[in-house]
Chains A and B, each alone.
Chain A
């Protein structure tokens, strides 16, 4: 008897949860998942982040802010899904594709294989990817000439260093991040051939503690300027610099992707190498809205304003150095200076 009693109790509990879930379903089916976009446009743009998420203070965030801008302009309704592991990329992309989204973004080179697979399986879907090239007719690949932008901050570092030692902290050691290192090193060499250059890879984009340790080692060796291309790992570099600055040491960090002086303050941020992920995302999304979307590859460099240095640099960088930066920028655009894209 008692067993029947407890069994029925469980059933009632389970049933009530189930019924409650069903009961509500009918009324959210109408107004449920639509986005709060102002526009009446039925264009929908989705975005899949890598494991960094949209608050990574780096390219995922830039991309999402750009999409939010598109949404508030009324052009499209937007949504993102964060991936918990690399196994999530394909299902997350498929979620958008199967829901009939007009464009699905994959943010970051880690999603290249997933985009390729999904694009092949859904030839009618439109996809786009940042930082990697996927060769498919329905995929737009946007890459940047990071080496050119890094060259410019290299010029700043080479001119501004007092100890003649300059450091670089990278995230994962991949061809993409090595483009930053190559350009940065070339920029330093161009203006200060005697400066010593140290590079270190943290091995991850989400490990601020490792970034902090790497920065501490470099500063201890006498480095006074560190350029980081390490996503959230770079937060640790900033923290280390900030605490040293407080104790009176003269050290700097060069930010990456966004104007990081807005995030970490002018006291430690010398300048930032800006990568206009936002412009690219906005532009391609607009192409979908306008109906002019075409697959293919687009590389944004200095001449397209795809990369560059932050506008707020003038706070810490003297005018003559900035003038030199402008000269080099003109030379790179004109093709007089060739910036290497691989580390020798």
Chain B
């Protein structure tokens, strides 16, 4: 019990929570200025997401890739790398899963679907490992190479879909083989055709894997050590370069999985995209909200997913433009990033605490 209490009264948890509340209040103020009723809007948001099983299922669909891209960013961040390339890794994972899902034929479902998922993870990981290798071998800043790889990934994906899997006369690929689908048919039917899929389960397992790998294994210890201080790690006899590539690979594999789920679980095909979907960038925000902690990221993606998916409810029932929701999300991230402001707001409470201690 006291351990549980500690989680909920831990510094970072309180800071996040207060930042979220401040973001919601700021959003409410913006709505008031715009002449909208914030209470009606927020209740519409909540009703939309948790009101019925269909929308709840769809909201989970919205959250799942965010968990993956959030984990991707956090994993790299824990090892001292700024992986802003989640977007490109997501797309490459998507494309790899599509190609395996479309062109590999005649396999039973229990081999084909996992194979497609793994292909997404491996190629997403390799895509990130390019940036990792450039950093390790040539000292190229991973931020620069990741941003470039995002664009290369977008156009490479489009090129691959256009040339190898295009559905004649349409702007998308042909459908994946039914054996590659990871949609959960029976649950989907129960939830009014909401597009729920096994990816959600894998995403939760991935968060557990993240935790165990990072904090309970020797390799994880090395990765974190490299993140804290490269020189000290080198002195201690660790291979810094190999760890950088490894960290980027695992990070990219998370993002690639997110992309694979989107193709195999949600759409069943891949569109030729005019611009990148943005899931990778949203993942950075989710990781920030979750303080780079795997379980925080699950909570962060629930919040982020609720806000983005519920925003349609706000515009539907309360006529609030979806831009306002973006303001709320932006405000929350702002307050989390600018912890000084939150600490300043909380200062009176903390001061009281200290007094208690003295007594």
Contacts and interface: CB of A to CB of B under 8 A. Distances in A.
Contact of A1 (B14, B62, B356): B356
Contacts of A13: 17, 21
Interface stretch (B201-209, B213-221, B224-232, B272-280): B272-280
Interface size class of B (residues with CB under 8 A): 35 or more
B195 interface: yes
Interface in A1-50: 1-7, 9-10, 13-14, 17, 20-25, 28, 32-33
A23 B37 CA distance: 13
Nearest to B25: A17
A226 to B, nearest CB: 20
B312 A20 contact: no
Interface in B269-296: 269, 271-272, 274-275, 277-278
Contacts of A121: 193
B9 A7 contact: yes
B135 interface: no
B58 A91 contact: yes
A310 to B, nearest CB: 27
Contacts of B73: none
B275 A88 contact: no
Contact of B40 (A3, A7, A28, A203): A28
User: B37, B54, B193: which has the most chain A beta carbons within 10 Å?
Assistant: B193
A81 B316 contact: yes
Contacts of B9: 3, 6-7
A221 interface: no
Given A24-B37, A24-B39, A113-B172, A172 B272 contact: yes
Contacts of A95: 312-313, 316
A25 B316 contact: no
A305 interface: no
A9 B353 CA distance: 13
B322 interface: yes
A110 B317 CA distance: 25
B339 interface: no
A90 interface: yes
Nearest to A177: B171
Given A1-B356, A7-B9, A86 B271 contact: yes
B63 to A, nearest CB: 12
A94 interface: yes
B141 interface: no
Contacts of A175: 169-170
Contacts of A1: 356
Contacts of A171: 274
A207 B8 contact: no
B309 interface: yes
B58 A25 contact: no
B55 A87 contact: no
B308 interface: yes
A82 B46 contact: no
A98 B316 contact: no
Contacts of A88: 312
B316 A21 contact: no
Contacts of A206: 274-275
A7 B5 contact: yes
A204 interface: yes
Nearest to A9: B349
B22 to A, nearest CB: 10
A315 interface: no
A79 interface: yes
A91 B193 contact: no
Contacts of A204: 274-275
B24 A17 contact: yes
A91 B275 contact: no
* 8 nearest CB pairs, A to B: A204-B274, A24-B39, A33-B317, A3-B9, A21-B43, A91-B58, A2-B353, A28-B40
Interface of B: 5-6, 8-9, 14, 17, 21, 24, 37, 39-40, 42-44, 46, 54-55, 58, 61-62, 169-172, 192-193, 195, 262, 266-267, 269, 271-272, 274-275, 277-278, 308-309, 311-313, 315-319, 322, 349, 352-353, 356-357
Interface of A: 1-7, 9-10, 13-14, 17, 20-25, 28, 32-33, 79, 81-82, 84-88, 90-92, 94-95, 98-99, 109-110, 113, 121, 171-172, 174-175, 203-207
